[in-house]
Amino acid sequence: MAELIVTDKQAEYLDDKTRHLMVLGSAGSGKTIFACIKVILYAMEHPKARIGVFRQTLPSLKKTAWLEIRKLLDEYQIEYKENKSDGVITLSNGSTLSFIPLDDSKKVRSLNLDFVYIEQCEEISKDSYDELTLRVRGEVQKNDFGQILSVVQPESKSHWLYNRFYRVKANDNDFKVIHFSYLDNPFLSEDALKYYESLKELDYDKYLTHTKGEWIAGSKAIFTNNWDVGFDRTYFEYYTAGCDFGWNVPSAFILTGWYDGECYVLDEIYQAEMTVDEFAEKIKDCLKKNELTLDDLESVYADASSPEQIEYFCQCGINTYPSVKNVKAKIDTTKMTRIHIKEHCTDLIREMESYQWKRDKDGNILDEPLKRDDHGVDALCYNVYGVKGELSKNKPASTFNMNEIYVY
């Protein structure tokens, strides 16, 4: 193996054996590379170790941790074999690294692991984290140590991770938070340094989370007391849905049932790089899974800036209406609606927890939302406003006058 090149901050914690270790920090601080190196060293130093590398979705996992670990193995001339179809890398000493998305809880059941690495842990649910904690029960870790290593880009202090590491477990020796700064990374380019500093003027919240790597106060949360997670209701008066289109960012579909004026989120689709026909088929599968048909779905309210996708949905029998531009009214209507969300809708739950008002450079809260990680929330708001909003128009997209709609 060639000589290991790490920053001073990375070297300080490579031997840390804390059971629950959170690597928190700014973008460009080297926290992902640190985690990947730590995983490789654990695999090399513990023959036949079973290591799980996780992220919420497979496309994201492939573009981050999986890619970086493979690059490091090649760079340091470490012998390995890779089974891409199974998502497994095997070292010459018998240690295995399994790359597994967390979009389906069934994928992690019955695993026996010695080490867990979760990339972008703020994306996953509390239940997923707890499930992975139970999986660290392999034979190798019993003779030395096992670890749940999470890499985190901080968000709102209302996030369950903040509560877990800073409040409930604040005095527990099994929990530790280490902070990485972009200033700790001597390999960062001048252009990157200038960009991170410029965020202070461009987007103060992003400056706090991405440049300084700090949690931000939950007082800026838009949705606070009008929603909860979990419900037992099975009968609904009617069904609707909201839809937000994307490609590099996720497309989102939020399926809801309504009863007595309250909104019940039954299921979600949340995936990037889907064609419109793939999206339509996933919607049909989602309805089938919930024992519904297209005829049961009264209406879908979608992003008005995507008229071609809306028209295609209508042609597929998905009764879709464009949204009306009035961001404040959309949010206010949703805030005044009682919303209940099924536990497995983790992407929407995560977004609801972190959806916040913008702040100016002086830290003052502005009366407009921060456009970040809002695909599921936007779909929900289109839906709620479509059902209850004063300016909502209920007629087929094929006959809708698109000139009446303002595009985002």
Q: Residue 130 CB: number of other CB atoms within 10 A?
A: 10
In this structure, what DSSP letter does residue 64 have? Answer: I
Single pTM value for the model = 0.58
The ranges of the chain annotated as CATH 3.40.50.300 are 18-181
Q: What is the pLDDT of residue 217?
A: 66
CATH class of the structural domain 227-404: alpha beta
Whole-Å CA distances, 177 to 205, 228, 290, 376: 21, 28, 40, 29
| DSSP strands (E only) in 213-338 | 227-229, 238-244, 251-259, 262-271, 297-302, 320-322
Question: Among residues 177, 171, 307, 321, which one has the least CA distance to residue 241?
Answer: 321
Per-residue pLDDT at 364: 61
Which regions of the chain carry the CATH code 3.30.420.280?
227-404
Q: How far apart are CA 271 and CA 274, in angstroms?
A: 7
In CATH, what number does 18-181 get? 3.40.50.300
Amino acid in the structure at residue 41: L
Q: Which tokens hold the place of 125?
A: 């649910």
- Helix, strand, coil percentages (3-state) for the chain, rounded to 5, are 40, 25, 35
- Measured CA angle at 384 (ends 382, 385), to 5 deg: 65
Separation in Å, CA 3 to CA 36, 72, 131 = 16, 12, 36
Buried b / exposed e over 392-408, threshold 16 CB at 10 Å, is: beeeebeebeeeebeee
Q: What number of other Cβ atoms are within 10 A of residue 264's Cβ?
A: 19
Residue type, 117: Y
At 398 the pLDDT is 31
Does residue 319 sit in helix, strand or coil? coil
Cα dihedral sign, 318-324-325-326 = negative
One-letter amino acid at 212 equals: K
Ranges in the chain, pLDDT < 50: 395-408
* Strand bridging mode 339-341 / 262-271: parallel
The phi and psi torsions of 36 (rounded to 5 degrees) equal: -65, -40
DSSP, res 156: B
* C-alpha–C-alpha distance, residues 140 and 135, integer Å: 13
**pLDDT for position 403:** 36
CA distance 299 to 241: 7
Comparing C-alpha atoms, which of 216, 176, 211 is closest to residue 25? Answer: 211
Is-contact 140 114, C-beta < 8 A? yes
DSSP for 176-223, please give it: EEEEE-GGG-TT--HHHHHHHHHHHHH-HHHIIIIIS---B-GGGBS-
Hey, is 331 helix, strand or coil? helix
Sheet arrangement for strand 147-152: 80-83, 88-91, 96-101, 50-55, 115-118, 147-152, 20-25, 175-180
Of the candidates 163, 197, 158, the one whose C-alpha atom is nearest the C-alpha of residue 181 is 197
Cβ(18)–Cβ(147) below 8 Å: yes
Alpha-carbon distance 113 to 343, whole Å?
25
Q: What is the pLDDT of residue 188?
A: 85
Query: Which pLDDT score is estimated for 171?
Result: 55
- Is residue 226 within 8 A of residue 338, CB to CB? The reply is yes
